[in-house]
Each structure stands twice: as structure tokens, then as C-alpha cells.
A and B are shown apart, each in its own frame.
Chain A
Amino acid sequence: MKEKGWTMRRTKPLAVVAGAALFALAACGGSGSDSANPESNRTYTGAAEVGKDPERQAPAADVEGATAGGTITVYLPGDPGPDSMDPTDGWSVTGNSIQQALTSRSLTQYAKDPKTGEMVLVPDLATDLGSHNDDFTEWTFTIRDDAKWEDGSPVTADEIAWGIQRSMDSDTFPAGPGTEYSQTYFSGAGEYKGPYTDKGKKWDGVSVDGQDVTIKMAKPFPDMDYWGAFMAMGPAPLGKASTPPDYGKHIMSNGPYKVESFRPQEELVLVKNDQWDPNSDPGRHQYADKFIFKFNQDQAKVDQIMLSDNTESQTALSNALGSNNYDRANTELGDRLIQQSAQCTSFLAPDYTKITDINVRKAIAYAYPYQDMWLATGEVPGVTRVPANSIMPPGMAGKHDYFVDGEQFTYNPEKSKELLKDAGYEPGEFKITMIYYEPDPLAVAGQKVLVKGMEEAGFTVKGIPVQDSPYNIWLNPDDKLNKTLNLRGVNWCSDWPSGLTMLPPLVRTGAAYNTAQFSEKSIDDKMAEIPTMPLDEQADAWGAVDEEIGTKYFPIIPTAFRNDLYVFGSKIGNPTGDGQIGAPDYKDLYVMQ
């Protein structure tokens, strides 16, 4: 999923090797409770691993003390929000967290466990979490009959099948999640191009029988229940009513809120949908009268509003906090400042075809000034960035707590020089060529610190300023500049708590975000084999592959696990984060009366 803020404005911070998650995949993982977080006095919210509750019944349990009414204003600093609200197109943390919680239902969803307060996977439009055949090649979901659209008509199984069919259309929805999952696992993947591109062609991938929707797979897909929690796996009005791109501007809501007005990159106003029945939904609430989302806000301004605690900000929340205000917010706001694991890992990606010696890659890991980089790029070390040891983020089932070099990599210029010497390079002999994002002063400052740190550790660094998003260069194999680079970067967030959404997109041969151009056949084979293994062994198998990749090849260097900071106004009830997607928990918010 695209990380929020993927097209940050000129003055906004972009972290890492030039680029915060401009384009990372989103968070649907269990959030970490482990404390790889020694310097912070804050703790993660959420559970260690995600649970499932197929029996969950509607309506959702009341939030204790919740009252109805009021307007909640959500500020999204430096975050342009989604351009289109079409559920099939939704693959950004910002868009999906808002729509999946408030307007657009799907087969399954995440909801708070009333006892533990953790997010669990529960049914949504389906009556359970789906049933599958033995080898996960056919999934059947029974659709509940009491869900309604905002115009009062019932949500039918045909409409859900139509929504699923739309997700096959990679050409019409090039930025949609279906490009990665539907087009990989569903029957006809690679051949059937979707209902808009292959007009009139029949597709046997999904079939409807009464209230049952059956999806056929091209290969085993044990994570279909998680994939079902994406709004792309939800209904769309039949026929012309849902023709893109118009539908993205005027979606039909089937959740507790409907769209009153939507101005992309500016504002989204949601009001109560009176056709939504709490007895048809096991996860959502409808406490506030209205939600106002304000995109592309100025961070400094929002910080001032949130810290002032005036009547305007009491019923508002912000999904980011400037690092310069962290100290003040931490002392003044207390529980209203929430630190949320974003289920994301940032990496340095040395080119596997050019930097062939593992010792050089390890030297880079020792030469990267972690703390200094975080500071210079406007992060709060130990809070919004914590040291990372593996590809899979904390809290993901099966994650191994291994260390590539026996201990956590820290900035250690001496060790880096030693490793370079072992590889046969004198200090200053090995040249790193990389790019950084020039329009952002924080990225420029970060690059200067990186050069300083790495040159002290025995490297020579040539940083090339670019004005385009670094991902546009890293991901373009034909780019002339890209061909000269031997160090890139990538940020990745999980789509659901499985190594399946973390490892193959980053290290499979030829994967789009494999910016290290890593390619080992044995690893490819192992990753292809895991989805066919028994379900309870898969998590551990992913962890084992993660460790094997790290210790044996070390193709990408994890630099940080990422956290977000949310600021809630003093009259917002139940201020918590949603660890599955890495966003505020919009489903359970209310205004204190």
C-alpha cells in the first residue's frame, strides 16, 4: 500500500535515502508490542499478532462511554489523500483507513476485540471469514442479506462478484491492489485483463450461487481472508453506475457514513448514512454526526492548532506530529499523543549485481549513521524510527529476532573500515553512487549527514540531487541515471500480517520494488513454495526465509522500523490507533458530549 504522504510537498520531510515511504505498501499487520524501542517512554499500541474471530456477530459492541453526535475534524499534514475514492483503486494507507472504516465495506474487516482492545479479523459483508478447499484454490464467502447501499437498495452477491471482477483490471486501476493480488492469485491471472480492458470477455474466476460468492484461484492463496479486508474485495454498483473514473468521484457508500463532498487533495466530508444498520455490521460504529478530513495541511500549523487545545482542536485529530514539537506534545498531551507502529520497514538497497561482496554490504550497514540520519531528516529517534534487524516488521507472525552480524547494526566506522579491508578496499576506494530528493531541505540535510558518516567509515559517496520522486528513478529500469547507481532505497509496509506481503515484493527476482535487484533462485523457489505449505507452518517459514536472506545474502539493509504519531483533541473519545493499517482507529472514535 502506498504510505501516506507519498507525494509530499516541497517543504515536507522525506526521510531515508531520500524518501520517506513515498510508495510503500500498507500496513495491515499486527502491531508490535515488543520494545525494540529502548529510548522511548512510549509503548506501541495494539497486539503482538493478529487474531481472527469468524464468529463475530453484528452489531459491534458499544465503546464504553461513547456518546452520539458532534463533528470530528481530521488533519492530514503533508498528506494529499486519495485522488479517487473508487474502492478498486484504493491502495494507500490514508484512503483505505478512512474508507474501509467509514464508507466502503468488503468481505472481511478488522475490528477491536472488546476484551483485549486489539484488532482482529472479523466478518464484514460475509457471514464468516470464508471457507476454502484443501489446497486453498477455491474460496467461498456467504454474503449477508441485510446490508444496504446509501440509497436503500440491498447489497447483493452479484455486486460483490462485480467488485471482485473489477479488481482484475490492472490497466484501468494501475495503482490498485488488485495488480499485486488479484492478478497474481485469482484464476485467469495474467490472461484476463478485467471487465473494462477485456470488454465482454467471460471470466470464470468468480461465480455466484444465491448468497454464495466463490472465487477460484490460479495457485494456492491461503491469505484470501486477509485480502478480503481490502475494500477492493467489496461491492460495486452493477453496470454503468460504477464506470471509472467517474465512480471514484461519486462513490455509493454502504458503510455508516456517506460522502457529502469530496475535493481531492483538499477536503473530504462524510455524513451519517441513515440506510446503514448497526445490526448488519459486526465492526463499525456511527457515533459522530460528521467527519471532515483536511488533506495537505501544513505540519507547523496543525501542530499549533492541536497544541492550543481550543474549541476547534478539541474535537480534531492529526495523523502526524512535527518532530520539533515532540517534546512539548509529549509532556502536554499525555495519552492523547499516540505512537502507532506503522508496520513498515525502511531499507538501503545496495545493487546486488554491482556490490557483490557481502562484506561491503555489511560495511555499508555499519557506515550508515542511523541516529544522525533520523535527526537530520526530522524524525524522532527511538520514537518514529527504531533500529531494525529484519525485513519483517515487529509483530508480524513468524518474525525471527536474528542479527546478521551477531548484534544490532549501529554506526561503527572502525568496523566498516575493517570489513572494507577484508573485501580488499582501502578507505576511500569504494565509491557509492546514489540519488537524493533535492526540493526537500530535510532530504538535502540528511544526504549531507550520510555523506559525512559514510566517508568517515571509509566510503566515497557521490550523491546526485534529483527533483523527481526517487522511486520514479529507482523503479524505472531504463532510466539512464538509475543504471549508474549502486545504492538505492525502499520503504515497505505490509498489507496484512504475513511475510507474503513483505518478502516477495522486495526480494523476488524481478519484483517491481526489488530495488537491490536481488536474485537467487533458491530463495525464489522457497518463497513460491511457502503458500502451498500447511497454514500453521507458513508464518514460521516466512520468518526462516527472512533470516536466511539476511544472514546468507544480506541484499537489503533494514535501517528502521517506522512508527507514526497521532495527536487527538481533548474531546475525542477513545483515542487509539489501528495497528492493522497504521492509521487512527476511525471506527471507534466519538465526540465526548
Chain B
Amino acid sequence: MAQVGRSLTSDLDGESMSAQTAGPETLGHLSDEPPQQQPQDNKKAKAITGKSPMRIAMGRLARDKIAMVCAAVVVLFVLIAVFAGAICSFFNVSTDTVLPSQYLDTLGGGLPLPEYGPPNGGFTIDHPFGIAPQSATDNLAFWVYGARTSLEISFTATLFASFFGILMGLIAGFVGGVVDKSISFLIDLFLTIPFLLAGLVIAPIINQNFNASDNYPRIQFWALIVVLAGFGWMGVARLIRGEVLSLREREFVQAARVIGMPTRRILVKELLPNLAAPIVVSISLMLPTFVAAEAGFAYLGIGVTSGISWGQTINKATPFFESYPLYLWEPVIGIVALVLALNLLGDAIRDALDPKTRR
């Protein structure tokens, strides 16, 4: 349920933001700040006149230390995910299944024998993160590939959700009338179905139809993306619709209409650039939601059950929290670090784009 709550809050954030900010005027007037806010920076303020609003925002973001640290963490995770194979072969570890009895203490709770690393022995170079109890697979390889699964799913789902959300929002807001009513109804309808529930319902259906297929893990992967994206686009759509409603009565849109621009062109060339800020913000907040949701699904035994996922490792590790805490901490730290970094980065981006919330 946490994911749903999160998406609702980000939704609300968006609404409130659209009330305060938005619009080209606001962004355009960034440089004309009230002098009492930065009286000592008059020179600087002068220097940045003439930059585009986006560049001003980026510059502000670059000066935000927390944002930069978070960006570095996110980039690091992205690199880990992209080069998962190389990292594993560098450390000479793999996600292959092994026959566990030779590595584990059979009567000692299925924990690794001391020579294979923690908790009973020291760290070894063969398995830098140790090996898993019960199955004796390598923790580092599972962690690295878990990061890949997590990012792959959250990035793809975000891409689809934001694309669809933006499209629906633009159409609803601009066309209005019956189209707006029906899209708004669709949004409300989808908002009533929590995606946790959708995931629980779809998992057995996918299983029933495709379990004999060789591509089953891949099908499961895409099904999860469809669930996440299919039940995550509504927030963006609402936000964009609200923005468009306020923008479409502006002079420049009216002018474009008068000179006979086709609707598609008005949407893409006139409206979309002015929506950059809310879109960037909502995407940056959608990512961590999906990372957490993917792990949550895997923990519940739905989602990516045939692949590798942090959530699954957490599920297997919870009984060992006392005897082998490291096994649980590894994926937990991965998720916490990634979600926290993405969230803080998202907040920083919003702050940077929105002059009124500047600290």
C-alpha cells in the first residue's frame, strides 16, 4: 500500500505545484527575483539574465550538494546495473545454482561453512559479499543482478507510465468536453484499483497461460512492467491535464490557434515545452516508487519470481536476521540507498524548477 500512498502524495504535490508555479511567465521571470531575497547576490543575478529557465534551474541544481551526492549514487547504481556482467566476471562470481551441501553447515541452520565467508568466517575474495544460506549462491552476483532488475523495471515502467500519462493529460486538458470527461473517468476508475491488487490478480493469470513457455521469466518481467505502468500513469495524467487547462486559455495558445496551427502541433510545440517542469518532477518521483514497488512485489512472491530480485532476497533473508544479518542488510541497503537517492534527487529537482519553494 505504501506505493499507492506515495503515488497519491506525488499526485497531490503536483496539483499544489500547478497552483503555485508553472507557466512560462513564472519561469521566465526567474531572474527578476524580489531583491530582498538575495540582496547580496545582485551581481550574480545580473550575470544569469538571459539564460533559459531550464539552464537556470540546472545551475541551481548543480549548486545543491545533496542533489549532487544523490545524483552520484543514482549514476553509480545505473553503472552497476549496466555493467552487471562485467562486475561479476571481474570478481569471478556468478548467479549459477550450485549444489549447496558442500558449502553449508547442514546441522548449523544451513549457514555457510566458515571458509566460505560470514557469518561464521571472515570475508573471502571468492565471495566478497558472502554466500546465501540454504542455497549457497553468491550474494554479490545476486545483488548486482538485483540492481539490474530493479532499475530495468523501474525505468521502463516509468517511461511507459509517463508517456501514457502525458499523452492522456494533454488530450484531456486540451480537447476538453466529452473526451476530457471520459479520460477523467478512466483516471478515476484506475485510481480505485490499487496496483498491488492488480499484481496479485494478474500473476496467476500470467502463470496459467505462459508457465510452460521457455520465455516465462521474461514474460513475467514485462507483465510486471505493464502492471506498474498501467496503474501508475494516472497521477501524471491528472497533473498534466490541470496544467494544460490553465495554459490553453493563454494568449500564445490562442494566437497559435488563430493562425491555424494543427492541434497536434499546438500540443507538441506550444504546450509540451511549458510542461517540462512538472513532467521532470513527476518522473523523478515515479522512479523510486517503482523501485520500491518492484521489491515489494517480489517480496510477496509475485512479480519477478523466476528471475533475480532484491525483494526476493529479502524474503529469503528475513528468517536469518539474527544468525546472518549481513544477508538481509545487503539488499535492504541497496533498496534504501537507491530509493532515498532518487527521492531526494526528485525533491531537489522540484525545488530547482520551482522558484517559490527555493530555500
Contact = CB atoms under 8 A, between A and B. Distances in A.
B98 interface: yes
A440 B105 CA distance: 23
B133 interface: yes
B106 interface: yes
Given A376-B100, A383-B107, A445-B316, A465 B301 contact: no
A322 B319 contact: yes
A441 to B, nearest CB: 5
Say whether chain B's binding surface is mostly helix, strand, loop, or mixed.
loop
A464 B107 CA distance: 31
A328 to B, nearest CB: 7
Given A323-B110, A324-B110, A451-B97, A376 B211 contact: no
B207 A382 contact: no
Nearest to A380: B107
B18 interface: no
A512 interface: no
A448 B135 contact: yes
B315 interface: yes
A10 interface: yes
A10 B200 CA distance: 12
Nearest to A433: B212
A383 B108 CA distance: 12
A465 B109 contact: no
B65 to A, nearest CB: 40
B101 interface: yes
Interface residues of B, number: 37
Interface string A422-445: 000000000000000011111011
Nearest to A40: B107
Interface string B196-217: 0000000110011001100010
B107 A444 contact: no
B305 A39 contact: no
Interface stretch (A193-201, A337-345, A367-375): A367-375
A465 B323 contact: no
Interface string A296-332: 0001100000000000000000000011111110100
A11 interface: yes
A10 B109 contact: no
A16 B238 CA distance: 50
B106 A438 contact: no
Contacts of B106: 39, 371, 375, 380-382
Given A299-B319, A466-B211, A381 B101 contact: yes
Nearest to B315: A441
B107 A441 contact: no
A165 B99 CA distance: 53
Contacts of B315: 11, 441
A149 B284 CA distance: 69
B162 interface: no
A376 B97 CA distance: 11
A503 interface: no
A327 B100 contact: no
Contacts of A376: 100, 134-135
Contact of A438 (B110, B305, B323): B305
B7 to A, nearest CB: 25
A324, A327, A441, A484: residue with the most chain B Cβ atoms closer than 10 Å: A324
A381 B300 CA distance: 27
B109 A326 contact: yes
Contacts of B320: 324
Contact of B98 (A411, A439, A452): A452
A439 B100 contact: no
B318 interface: yes
Interface of A: 10-11, 39-40, 299-300, 322-328, 330, 369, 371-372, 375-378, 380-383, 411, 438-442, 444-445, 448-449, 451-453, 456, 464-467, 481, 484
Given A411-B99, A444-B305, A481-B211, 14 more contacts: A324-B111, A324-B320, A372-B99, A375-B136, A381-B107, A438-B211, A441-B315, A444-B306, A451-B97, A452-B96, A452-B97, A453-B99, A466-B207, A467-B204
24 contacts: A11-B301, A322-B319, A323-B134, A325-B319, A325-B323, A326-B108, A327-B107, A327-B108, A327-B109, A369-B101, A371-B101, A375-B110, A375-B135, A375-B136, A376-B100, A381-B101, A381-B106, A382-B107, A441-B305, A448-B135, A451-B97, A465-B211, A465-B216, A467-B204
The 3 closest A-B pairs by CB, nearest first: A371-B101, A452-B97, A448-B97
